[in-house]
Amino acid sequence: MFEKEKAQMTKAGMKMDRYGLIALSGGNVSMRMPSGEILITPSGMIYEDMVPADVLVMDIDGNVIEGTRKTSSDTEGLLYIYKHREDINSVIHTHQPYATAVGLVEDEFEVNLTTLANACGGNVKVTPFSSAGSVDMGIDTVENLGDSLAVILANHGVMAVGENLKQALCAAVYLEEAAKTYLSAKAIGEPRKMTKEQVTQAVELFHFYGQGTPVIPKELVKRI
């Protein structure tokens, strides 16, 4: 069951590797199906070796419906997110180094790049420390997410979410790009900030980005 979605998830795992968001088997990819089942990548498997049949199907309480692999060690925390945020249908957990580095120093990654505003929808908060594999990872994510599409887990990594897999992956990838740029700037001075209006405009513009979407209304493209 859900063969197409499982294939999308293993492909997303490869992309996480390609974009430097994880090494070997770190992190995980999960999705919620419209019928309520949760699909989660297995524990400790290298993404390039993973095939769709390795992805587990479970109910919202963690009872495995299909799959023989050991479930991700973060399953409890992930299920907490799906239970408490019905608008979230995909979660990508990574150990991406640049965003995690920002979280080692700051309590919140303030939006200072249009790409970050586009992909994450606002500032990205840093959660308190929680142990890997604990339900606290999920609780901290829900408590700090707000309207954003990502949080940085203190001393650990990132939880990126979305209404679908593509949105969660974009949030993780662009967060990492922005963190890399921010840290590069920080090495030579204090990075310039965006105004609240500039952030709002960048978030709104993103709704018109990509194929098959309406043309950007002129009033949105203004000099603030």
Cβ distance to Zn ion smaller for residue 25 or 112: 25
Stretch that binds Zn ion, among 29-37, 52-60, 109-117, 150-158 (CB under 5 A): 150-158
DSSP code, position 71? B
Between strands 38-40 and 28-32, the pairing is antiparallel
CB 52 within 8 A of CB 40: no
Between strands 124-127 and 150-153, the pairing is parallel
Torsion of CA 82, 9, 156, 97, to 10 degrees: -140
Q: In angstroms, give the least distance from the CB of 40 to Zn ion.
A: 13
Stretch that binds Zn ion, among 64-72, 103-111, 130-138, 177-185 (CB under 5 A): 130-138
Give residues with Cβ within 8 angstroms of 49, minimum separation 6.
none
**How many chain residues bind Zn ion (CB under 5 A)?**
2
Cβ distance to Zn ion smaller for residue 92 or 119: 92
Q: In angstroms, give the least distance from the CB of 217 to Zn ion.
A: 41
Q: In angstroms, give the least distance from the CB of 19 to Zn ion.
A: 16
Cβ distance to Zn ion smaller for residue 114 or 144: 144
What span, in angstroms and rounded, lies between the C-alpha atoms of 176 and 97?
Answer: 8
Task: Give the binding site for Zn ion (CB under 5 A).
Answer: 132, 157
